[in-house]
Structure 1
Amino acid sequence: MATASSRVLWKGAISFGLVHIPVSLHAATRENDIDFDWLDRRSMDPVGYKRINKRTGREIAREDIVRGVAYEDGQYVVLSDDEIRAAYPESTQTIDIETFVSAAEVPFIYLERPYYLAPLGKGAKVYALLREALLKTGRIGIARVVMQHKQHLAALVAAGPGLVLNLLRWADEIRSWGDLDLPAEGPRAAGLSDREMKMATQLIEEMSGSWNPADYKEEFKDKIMALVKRKIDADETQSVTRIEPLEGGRGGGAEVVDLTLLLQRSLRQGGAAPAKTAARTARSPRKTASRKRA
């Protein structure tokens, strides 16, 4: 298995109750698809993409392109860049956990893209505490996070030595079963006999084994790369002229303070605290404590 990317994609903090855990976000997956570039057969020059008016076939300059949303067939509402920019969600640099649920409650169809989270600064101990608590309870955190001007629903999952932030699809992005002609649920309702069920379960048991992802490889990619290697070895290659390209929040991580104190305060408040309040508490615990004593 490939190692995790060391490049930091995002810095922020996990927030639940009054607790802040400074973390960095790293890619957990990588694309391994074969990249087929378009080339002109006559000259072996790279073939690019153009902005084309679909009615006239003419190329359009970037400054003449606007963005529109279709509301009826052929009818659009045009939005300016400023209007679109104003609708972007505010980037808070926090992974705000709203609730904890059983891991089995979230269907796999909602999982979209995983990222690794690593602790920053003095956050290692509280990072480990959250990881171990999630493993012990069998829960995952359901959170909201803003990345690249887009708000995401996410699941915070303890996996082995680390925490994984798995972006989730929103409910309205999941299609319903309703339009599919599916058999009724349950053996009896589906017309299955006890003997058929027994044989099917027996076959599944006999074919069962341990999950080892290295046992499965993409055959198409292996065949293409083997073909490429054979052509390189046979000196069946082409030179392509390199085309030069045209010129064209806040920091993450609050200081970790007395963890026991923050957990006690969070429990007294029922686990709910606005992110801004939590951030202030994490930054100035002594001042807050002195006010309470007064």
Structure 2
Amino acid sequence: MRAIWKGAVSFGLVNVPVRLYSATENHDVQFRQVHRADGGRIRYRRVCAIDGEEVSYDDIAKGYETQDGAMVVLTDDDLADLPISTSKEIAVDKFVPSDQIDPLYLDKCYYLEPDASAVKPYVLLREALTDTDRVALVTVSLRTRMTVALLRVRGEVIVLQTLLWPDEVRPQEFDVLDEDDTEVKPAELSMAHLLVESLAGDYDPHDYVDDYEEAVKQVVEAKLAGGEVAVAPEPEDDGGEVLDLLAALQQSVDRAKKARGESDDDEAEQKPTSEAKAATKSGKGKKRKAG
């Protein structure tokens, strides 16, 4: 694994240099949109929804859309004074009982690895969290934004898990559950308990397999074995920009002609014939020669 962040855990006067690693990775099946005829990838252009023109990266700004649909364009100057943090400290705010953390607030998970010189304080913190059945609430700056997270123990490793902000958790509002006339009979509850006990067991993550991913892989392997593979040539990067520029110039010319009331026929009449061009070049050559 490759560390994505380096810093230190600080609690009291103790400082533990650590490296941060992503604890999970996404294995969802990813399909790409391709041309059915030859397997070429479908590419999308950055087009303005108002004028239909393709927009270069230099002309792209950040926009904030309000709830009523208004778009506020923000410049770099507007964003210059935002509270951006580059701190490399994981600062412990408090140690709280682990059962106070609603799993609904748990977000992304990372492993913390101590530096070789900081193993002892790392183990000290790990054992303290385990013995007291507490987690450490911390603040940490990831990708220039300060966020709240917690430190908890998983096996021999301390895990940092970011928390969602309160307004990111939707309220549970279901009117159907507010009805007070729903009565559960003792016999029904007893039967439900028996059902739970009959299916009781321990959780082993390896008991479950992503059968969809496995099935997709089998289909792909079968097509590879049968030679059903479309290898589309990659377009040349330097040529693509030229073609886009030529197309943009052509559109500009067409619009300018339309604004002047000209047509392609008018342009054809104004263009000199090949014989006229030759005569013009010949005349110019004779002039230079005579001089």
Provide the TM-score with structure 2 as the length reference. Answer: 0.76
Q: Partners of 2:237 and 2:130 in 1: how far apart?
A: 48
For 2:47 and 2:132, the matched residues in 1 are separated by 55
Aligned counterparts of 1:80 and 1:203: Cα–Cα separation in 2: 60
Contact 1:184 1:190 in 2 (8 A): no
Q: Is the 8 A contact 1:27 1:114 kept in 2?
A: yes
* Residues 53-99 of structure 1: CA deviation (Å, up to 9, x unaligned): 12333311112222122235342332212432431422110111111
| Highest RCO, 1 vs 2 (Cα 8 Å, sep ≥ 6) | 1
1:71 is matched with 66
| CA shift for structure 1 position 205 | 1.1
**Partner of residue 228, structure 1:** 220
Report whether the alignment pairs 1:16 with 2:8. no
134-143 vs 237-246, which moves further: 237-246
Superposed, which structure 2 residues align to 1:151-170 within 5 Å? 151-170=146-165
Quick one: distance in 1 between partners of 2:65 and 2:20?
A: 35
After superposition, residues 1-294 of structure 1 pair within 5 angstroms as 6-71=1-66, 73-178=68-173, 180-184=174-178, 190-243=182-235
Distance 1:191 1:245, change over 3 A: farther
Question: How far did 1:217 drift?
Answer: 1.5
Gaps of 5+ in 1: 1-5, 247-294
Identity among equivalent positions (%) equals: 32
Following superposition, which runs of at least 4 residues in structure 1 exceed 6 angstroms of deviation? none
**Would you say the 8 A contact 1:112–1:168 is kept in 2?**
yes
Summarize deviations over 1:27-63 as a string: whole Å, max 9, x none. Answer: 1111101221222234432222221112333311112
Instruction: Choose 82-91 or 17-26, whichever is displaced more.
Output: 82-91
TM-score (norm 1): 0.75
| Offset at residue 230 of structure 1 (A) | 0.9
Amino acid at match of 2:191: M
Shift of 1:104: 1.0
Letter in 2 for 1:10: W
How far apart are the structure 2 equivalents of 1:243 and 1:7?
Answer: 32
CA contact (8 A) 1:44 1:241 kept: no
> Alpha-carbon deviations, 1:208-248, whole Å to 9, x = none?
111110111122111111111111111111112235668xx
Q: Secondary structure at the match of 2:116?
A: coil
> What is the CA–CA distance in structure 2 between the aligned matches of 1:218 and 1:122, rounded to whole Å?
41
**Does the CA-based 8 Å contact 1:23-1:119 persist in structure 2?**
yes
The 8 Å contact of residues 38 and 230 in structure 2, kept in 1 or not, is answered as no
Paired position in structure 2 for 1:273:
none
How far off its partner does 1:161 sit?
0.4
